[in-house]
Chains A and B, each alone.
Chain A
Amino acid sequence: MADNQENSNGATDNEILLEVSNLKMYFPVTSGIILQRKVADVKAVDDVSFLIKKGETLGLVGESGCGKTTTGRAILQLYKPTAGKVMFENQDLTQLDNSSMRAMRRKMQIIFQDPYGSLNPRMTCGDIVGEPLKVHKMTSGKGEYRDRVSELLSVVGLNPYMGDRYPHEFSGGQRQRIGIARALAVNPSFIVCDEPVSALDVSIQAQVINLLEELQDQFGLTYLFIAHDLSVVRHISDRVAVMYLGHIVEIAERNELYENPLHPYTKALLSAVPIPDPVVEATRERIILTGDVPSPMNPPEGCVFHTRCSEMIDDCRAGIPELREVSADHWVACIRSEGY
């Protein structure tokens, strides 16, 4: 099953498309009205490293405020990262100037979470999908432009005649398809999918997920799939990274992570996912985490999870555990986990 996703585009398994190393994204907190002083940092992403192979889908999961969206945006340089490197096709994106970055954006696109807020209400669906073509001067002449827009709309399952309609005339699922068509317009190789289905109804979610998978097969796309729904991430991803409070706490191949989670946070997260089956639910053991996620402005000393962890020992407060490979391609950042 995973094979048809990984190898459908003929890419070799080990070709690395994107490598993120020690990425940090801090947002300053200022105080004062006229003279703004920086009083603290919100450490939205703190020392995150991972890589994405060509043609694969890396799922990035975590709760709200854990920094998963910020990671996606910092990779695309929509935020200027505080520190770290983002290597894409052997170029460090953080070092590029604006015009080379703009050229680079042709290869990397994003699909946003909110299909209502991410489309300009005053542009027709056709103009929205066609705008990237104009920006990157990818078509010559009106005829070719029109043909390409129609083609894009039909690729995502919309009728080309819908190009003249405005966003408010579409349903949520259709709007998300417009967003996908816009991302595909420039033939990107890498797409950040930022919660692409969480705003959609259950019966529509499956349609959009299937579409994303079909497009991946068809165009050999690489996805960074950001979501909080662990069942959806399991379905679509080849590898999965779990984030908590700005840190990646575990990263592994999909089946390995779901069958053999090592980090206490991953375990709790998986056990909290409801399963639509009362009989299974009745016998399932649930780890209920106590308390809330701490503020990223003032993260706890040592392991950021220790305040909610049931396996906490004194050493957990001593230092931030680094991500270590404990078995083949299974990385975890917990001193209490087996083999660490």
Chain B
Amino acid sequence: MAKLLEINDLKTHFFTQDGVVKAVDGVSYDLEEGEILGIVGESGCGKSVSALSIMRLVANPPGRIVGGEVLFDGVNVLNLSDAEMRHIRGNRIAMVFQEPMTSLNPVLTIGRQLTETLELHQNMSKNEARDRSVELLRTVGIPDPESRIKDYPHQFSGGMRQRVMIAIALSCNPRLIIADEPTTALDVTIQAQILELMQGLSKEFGTALIIITHNLGVVARYADRVNVMYAGKIIETGTAEEIYHNPKHPYTIGLLKSVPRLDEAMKTRLEPIDGMPPDLVNLPAGCSFAPRCKFTNDHCLQETPTLNTVDGHHMSACFRFSELDELTKAAS
């Protein structure tokens, strides 16, 4: 399949009073048409900023994309003019944000927010746009869309608002939807509804999907491929099965072990990752994860590891990935 999105060595830095925060520091990955990619990481690892960089929505100042390229359909979006970029945003790449409460405009009806996009990007007339909006709301499972279209965001529940957000994202048949923690603010039973919906729509319309989340469980069911991020870098990438069954980075292993699982036998104690995520202004020399890693050696402290191929497309940024199985065994 053709590459829809290709990101090469993307660097987004924030220039603050305390120093330069390297929120995204040399991230590369690509995405095929219709593929679902999960980006997993903890707060501050740069997963949201990397997505905002694709859309060129990073607040400047203090943020700036200082290097790399983002090829969307072969065109580097970082070189586009603002007008050209506006034509891509919402039209060919759409975004679903974490907070369904705050990302809709409270003083406009749901219908207006949907038709606005359609009239702007698709040159539809008012009536056409309204009909299409009703149809979109029905697609995302909002009951009685003809009358709900006149309602304001506060008249919807959290899950319903997230459905409206998805409807807006879908409205122009984008090629790519970036969902930044789409279910974090929602309850578990609603989470399941929204993710099923997004997967179904992606299959139906062939839209590629990037799901950003801190919850490893959320993407396991839906993602074709998973990128794990830590301190501004991708530290492991592979198919969902490779990442969950055969993780080759101590951080990924730690993440998987530190959460209790419903389908596993009870453990007396959880196995947390020691320490705290690093300060992005003063990153340690060498591997950023080294201070929290059980298997650190001198090499890790001196040199920064890059992604190395484990097997096929499965890559890990750990010098010792080939020894990890034995090391873990020896440690336990």
Contacts and interface: CB of A to CB of B under 8 A. Distances in A.
Interface of A: 1-2, 4, 63-64, 171, 173-174, 201-207, 209-210, 213, 228, 230-232, 234-235, 258, 268-282, 286, 288-290, 292-293
The CB with the most chain B CB atoms within 10 A, among A206, A231, A289, is that of A206
Contacts of A4: 268
A171 B193 CA distance: 33
Given A270-B262, A272-B192, A279-B244, 20 more contacts: A2-B266, A63-B187, A63-B190, A64-B187, A171-B276, A202-B42, A203-B42, A203-B272, A205-B272, A206-B270, A210-B272, A231-B261, A232-B260, A235-B260, A274-B215, A274-B220, A275-B263, A288-B196, A290-B193, A293-B187
Contacts of B324: none
B277 interface: yes
Nearest to B214: A202
A235 B221 CA distance: 22
A205 B257 CA distance: 12
A272 B266 contact: no
Given A64-B187, A228-B188, A273-B188, A289 B259 contact: no
A206 B257 CA distance: 9
A290 to B, nearest CB: 8
B262 A210 contact: no
B189 A204 contact: no
Contact of B260 (A201, A234, A270, A277): A234
A201 B277 contact: yes
Interface residues of B, number: 45
B309 interface: no
B217 A276 contact: yes
Contacts of B306: none
Contact of A288 (B160, B193, B223): B193
Nearest to A286: B192
Contacts of B215: 202, 274
B176 interface: no
A274 B217 contact: yes
Nearest to A213: B269
Contacts of B218: 274
B331 to A, nearest CB: 17
Contacts of B273: 203, 206
B220 A206 contact: no
A274 B191 CA distance: 9
A169 to B, nearest CB: 12
- Counting from the closest, the 8 A-B pairs by CB-CB distance are A274-B217, A206-B272, A281-B221, A63-B187, A235-B260, A206-B258, A206-B270, A203-B273
Interface in B243-288: 244-245, 254-256, 258-263, 266-274, 276-277
B164 to A, nearest CB: 13
Interface in B20-46: 42-43
B271 A206 contact: yes
A289 B269 CA distance: 33
A331 to B, nearest CB: 21
A63 B218 CA distance: 17
Contacts of A205: 258-259, 272
B140 interface: no
Contacts of B159: 292
A234 B217 CA distance: 16
Given A228-B187, A274-B220, A281-B220, A204 B263 contact: no
A211 to B, nearest CB: 9
Contact of B241 (A206, A273, A279, A286): A279
